[in-house]
Structure 1
Amino acid sequence: MLLVAFVFSYLVIALFAFYSVVSDAVPKVKPSIQVLGLVWFMAMCVFFIVFRSYDTLGDTSVYVNEIFSEIGKSPSLSSYNTQALDTAEPLFYWLTKLGYITGSSRVYLLLAMMAFIGPLMVSIFLQWRSHFFLVLFSFVSLFVFYSLSMNIIRNGISVGWWLLGLVMLYQRRWIALSICVFISVGFHFSSLFFWVLVLLALVVRNIYVIAILGLVALVAAFLEFDLSELLLVASDSGLANELIGMKLARYGNKVFDAEYNTGFRADFVIFNLFFLALALWYKQVLNYKNHFYDFLVRLYIILSAIFFLSFQIPGADRIGILSWIIIPFISMFPIHEPPLRNNIHWKLTLFCITVIQGLVSIYIIKHLFQIS
Structure 2
Amino acid sequence: MDYQNYYLITYLFSAFIALFFAIDYSLKNNKGVNSNIILVLFFVFSYTLVFGFREYSIGSDTTMYLDAFKYNTIQDAKDVGFAVLAKAVSFFTNERGYFIIIAFLYTSILGLAFYYFEKTKMYLLFFTFTSMFFFESFGINVVRHGLASVLLLLSIVLFLNKKNIKASIAILLAVSFHASIVTPFLFWLVTKKITSIRFVFAIFFGTIVLSYLGFGINSITDVIPVLNMFFKDRFDSYFDMPDWLDYTIGFKLSFVLFNLFFAILGYKIHNNFSDLIEQKKYLRFLNSYLLSSSFFFMSFYVAFSDRVGALSWIFIPFLLEPLLDKQRYKYGAIVSVVLCFFIFVFFYNTIRTV
Secondary structure of the 2:349 match is helix
The equivalent residue for 2:203 is 213
Root-mean-square deviation over aligned CA pairs:
2.7
The equivalent residue for 2:59 is 57
Of the three residues 112, 134, 142, the one matched with 2:102 is 112
Distance 1:334 1:249, change over 3 A: same
Contact kept, 8 Å, 1:20 with 1:131, in 2: the verdict is no
The equivalent residue for 1:284 is 271
Secondary structure of the 1:190 match is helix
The equivalent residue for 1:23 is 24
Query: What TM-score do you get using the length of structure 2 for normalisation?
Result: 0.89
1:239 Cα deviation after fit: 8.7
Please give the per-residue CA displacement for 1:282-322, whole angstroms capped at 9, x wherever unaligned: 12356564211011111111001000111111110111111
The equivalent residue for 1:13 is 14
Contact kept, 8 Å, 1:89 with 1:186, in 2: the verdict is yes
Partners of 2:31 and 2:180 lie apart in 1 by 45
Identity of aligned residues (%): 21
1:214 Cα deviation after fit: 1.1
1:250 Cα deviation after fit: 2.1
1:6 Cα deviation after fit: 3.0
The equivalent residue for 1:173 is 163
Partners of 1:256 and 1:335 lie apart in 2 by 45
Partners of 1:240 and 1:46 lie apart in 2 by 35
Contact kept, 8 Å, 1:55 with 1:61, in 2: the verdict is yes
1:50 Cα deviation after fit: 0.5
1:172 Cα deviation after fit: 2.2
Q: Which amino acid aligns with 2:343?
A: Q
Distance 1:337 1:161, change over 3 A: farther
1:7 Cα deviation after fit: 2.7
The equivalent residue for 2:341 is 355
The equivalent residue for 2:287 is 298
Contact kept, 8 Å, 2:59 with 2:141, in 1: the verdict is yes
Partners of 1:149 and 1:117 lie apart in 2 by 8
Partners of 1:31 and 1:177 lie apart in 2 by 23
Number of residues of Structure 1 aligned to a counterpart in Structure 2: 350
Indicate whether 1:98 and 2:88 are aligned: yes
Distance 1:31 1:177, change over 3 A: closer
Distance 1:30 1:333, change over 3 A: closer
Partners of 1:284 and 1:194 lie apart in 2 by 24
Partners of 1:254 and 1:230 lie apart in 2 by 20
Distance 1:28 1:224, change over 3 A: closer
Distance 1:264 1:238, change over 3 A: closer
Q: Which amino acid aligns with 1:349?
A: V
More off after superposition, 88-97 vs 252-261: 252-261
1:35 Cα deviation after fit: 5.8
Secondary structure of the 1:131 match is helix
The equivalent residue for 2:193 is 203
Secondary structure of the 1:203 match is coil
Partners of 2:29 and 2:217 lie apart in 1 by 52
Of the three residues 214, 222, 225, the one matched with 1:224 is 214
Partners of 1:171 and 1:36 lie apart in 2 by 23
Partners of 1:5 and 1:262 lie apart in 2 by 32
Partners of 1:280 and 1:288 lie apart in 2 by 15
1:234 Cα deviation after fit: 5.7
The equivalent residue for 1:321 is 310
Partners of 2:180 and 2:30 lie apart in 1 by 47
More off after superposition, 222-231 vs 315-324: 222-231
Distance 1:33 1:166, change over 3 A: closer
Partners of 2:181 and 2:131 lie apart in 1 by 23
Partners of 1:306 and 1:28 lie apart in 2 by 37
Contact kept, 8 Å, 2:151 with 2:173, in 1: the verdict is yes
Of the three residues 120, 123, 134, the one matched with 1:144 is 134
Contact kept, 8 Å, 1:304 with 1:320, in 2: the verdict is yes
1:128 Cα deviation after fit: 2.3
Query: What TM-score do you get using the length of structure 1 for normalisation?
Result: 0.85
Distance 1:312 1:128, change over 3 A: same
Secondary structure of the 2:91 match is helix
Q: Which amino acid aligns with 2:151?
A: W
Partners of 1:332 and 1:111 lie apart in 2 by 29
Q: Which amino acid aligns with 2:9?
A: F
Partners of 1:362 and 1:283 lie apart in 2 by 30
1:271 Cα deviation after fit: 0.8
Name stretches of at least 5 consecutive residues in structure 1 with no aligned partner: 82-86
